[in-house]
Amino acid sequence: MMTEKENTRISKYLSLVLRHAPEAAGITLDEHGWTDVGILLKQLSRNGYAVSPAELDHVVTTNSKQRFIYDENRARIRASQGHSVAVDLAYAVSEPPTVLYHGTAEAFLSSIEKTGLDKRSRHHVHLSADDETARRVGQRHGKPVVLVVDAARMRVDGYTFFCSDNNVWLTEHVPTAYLQRQ
C-alpha cells in the first residue's frame, strides 16, 4: 500500500496534468476533460510516477476533495473542476442554496472588495456549501477569511450556478454587492 506522502505527491501531479498542463505528462484531454486511464498510467510512469491501476484508484477514491472522477466504465478519468485549460465539463445549471461561501486569505480582501470574486485563469469562481470547507480553502493561502455569497439574490438577478461532481459550486463572477464577510 502506498504511503500518505506518495498519495499526496501523485494527487498533486494528477491535479497538474488533469487541470492545468496535460502536456507535462504527454497526455491530451478531450473537449470534456477526459483522458484514457491506460494512456495516463503509461505516461505517468514515463514521467517518474509509476502508478498501478489499484494505486490510481486509491488516489481517486481517497482524495479528500474528490478532485478526480472516472467515467461510468472506469476507462477514462478527469478532474471534477478547477481547470485552467479549455474544457467543457457539461455541467447543467443548478439551483444553489440560499447562501454559499468562499474561502480566501486576508491578503486578498482589498482586491476582492474592489472587483468581487473573479475566476482569473480558471473557468469559474469556486464556492462551498458550508463555511468550514471555505475556511479550509482560505487557510491554504494565509490567514483565512470566509465570505458569504448571497446566491439566492444572484440567481434572481440572472446569474447561473453549476455544481461539480465533487459538490463545488461554480459561477462566472460574484460582484461585491453579493458578498459579505462572515
Q: Which CATH architecture has domain 4-79?
A: Orthogonal Bundle (1.10)
Same fold? 4-79, 100-181: no
Nearest to 40 by CA among 17, 9, 63, 74: 17
The H-assigned helical ranges of 16-89 are 37-46, 53-62
Amino acid, single-letter form, for residue 122: R
H/E element, 40: helix 37-46
H/E element, 10: helix 4-15
Global pTM exceeds 0.85: no
Domain segments of the chain as ranges: 4-79, 100-181
18/113 Cα distance (integer angstroms): 32
CB-neighbour burial class of residue 117 (10 A; exposed 0-12, middle 13-18, buried 19+): buried
pLDDT higher than threshold 90 for residue 176: yes
pLDDT tens digits for range 46-59: 999 999 999 999 99
pLDDT tens digits for range 73-118: 999 999 998 888 989 888 899 999 999 999 999 999 999 999 999 9
pLDDT tens digits for range 106-161: 999 999 999 999 988 778 999 999 999 999 999 988 999 999 999 999 999 999 99
> Largest Cα–Cα distance of the chain, in whole Å?
50
pLDDT higher than threshold 90 for residue 11: yes
Q: Name the one residue in this structure whose C-alpha cell is 453549476.
A: 162
What one-character-per-residue DSSP string does 129-166 give? SSHHHHHHHHHTTSSEEEEEE-HHHHHHTT---EE-TT
73/156 Cα distance (integer angstroms): 38
The fold of the 100-181 domain, in CATH, is ADP-ribosylation fold (3.20.170)
Residue 70 contacts residue 76 (beta carbons within 8 Å): yes
C-alpha cell belonging to residue 60: 481517486
